Amino acid sequence: MDIGSGPGMFVRHLLDTRPSDFRITACDRSPAMIDAAAGRLTASDPEVCLSVSRIEDLPFDDCSFDVALALGVLEYVDIAQALPEVSRIVRPGGLVIATMLNPASPYRLFEWCIYWPARRLAGRIEGLLGIQPSRPHGARRSGIRAVRRGRLARLMRGAGLTPYDVVAFDITSTVPPFDKLVRRHHRRWRDHPERTVSRGLRGRMGTGYLIAARKAPV
């Protein structure tokens, strides 16, 4: 079950790499995303169930999935409300894998405390000078809320899930906007993605992290 599947990139990846290992369901609150996911499927793919639905109110039976993924979606929702619903649809002993932006990484601290406020300030100055703010300067707040791994782990436990692994990803020593330049010339992300993840101290430099958790067996 891929919750908040977006345009179905991961569904496509699973179909391409593990074609007969999973029966896949994907949902997203956005009909446009589900349409895009449908557009990635071909007639020769195994059947994939697609649903426009919200993580807070999933239209699936209790314990109906072995694995639930919530990749890049918890940042947009009330996590305390969403996780019990994710836990509900997973069978006892089943797996929940969730990702979250790392609010304590140097990258995110710089991005949220300096980079975006500076751009918005530039937009306000442009406004005062009667200049139409350029698009990035006029960018609205994203509404993203990120929590640290300890808090996410506690929320998972509260939802009946037991975290057993945490992997930091997208490890970088750059900050925006220089990261774009570095990534363009640096082949690490493309050629050696394994070097951009860590379970150790380097993980503090990861812009995001993944938590794997199990639902308690009955």
Binding ligand SAM (rule: CB under 6 A), the pick from 6, 94, 103, 163 is 6
- Tell me how far, at minimum, the Cβ of 112 lies from ligand SAM, in Å: 16
Binding ligand SAM (rule: CB under 6 A), the pick from 15, 34, 73, 161 is 73
Contact 51, 20 (CB under 8 A): no
For ligand SAM, the closer CB: 28 or 179: 28
Is there binding between residue 5 and ligand SAM (CB under 6 A)? yes
Binding ligand SAM (rule: CB under 6 A), the pick from 11, 25, 28, 210 is 28
d(CA 209, CA 158) in angstroms, rounded, equals 19
- Tell me how far, at minimum, the Cβ of 103 lies from ligand SAM, in Å: 16
- Tell me how far, at minimum, the Cβ of 78 lies from ligand SAM, in Å: 9
Contact 52, 25 (CB under 8 A): no
Structure tokens at 161: 């899930």
Beta-strand (E) ranges in the chain? 2-3, 24-28, 48-52, 65-70, 90-101, 161-171, 197-198, 206-215
Which stretch in 40-48, 53-61, 125-133, 139-147 sits in contact with ligand SAM by CB under 6 A? Answer: 53-61
Residue 92 burial (CB count, 10 A):
11
- Tell me how far, at minimum, the Cβ of 75 lies from ligand SAM, in Å: 7
The DSSP symbol for 205 reads G
What's the longest Cα–Cα distance across the chain? 65
- Tell me how far, at minimum, the Cβ of 73 lies from ligand SAM, in Å: 4
Binding ligand SAM (rule: CB under 6 A), the pick from 29, 40, 91, 202 is 29
Which stretch in 65-73, 120-128, 185-193, 206-214 sits in contact with ligand SAM by CB under 6 A? Answer: 65-73
Structure tokens at 64: 């109906």
Residue 206 burial (CB count, 10 A):
25
Which stretch in 27-35, 37-45, 129-137, 142-150 sits in contact with ligand SAM by CB under 6 A? Answer: 27-35
For ligand SAM, the closer CB: 5 or 105: 5
- Sort strands 206-215 and 90-101 into parallel, antiparallel or unpaired: antiparallel
Is there binding between residue 196 and ligand SAM (CB under 6 A)? no
Phi-psi region of 70 (alpha: psi -120 to 50; beta: other; left: phi over 0): beta
d(CA 193, CA 187) in angstroms, rounded, equals 9
Q: What does the binding site for ligand SAM look like in residue numbers (CB under 6 A)?
A: 4-6, 9-10, 28-30, 33, 54-56, 71-73, 76-77
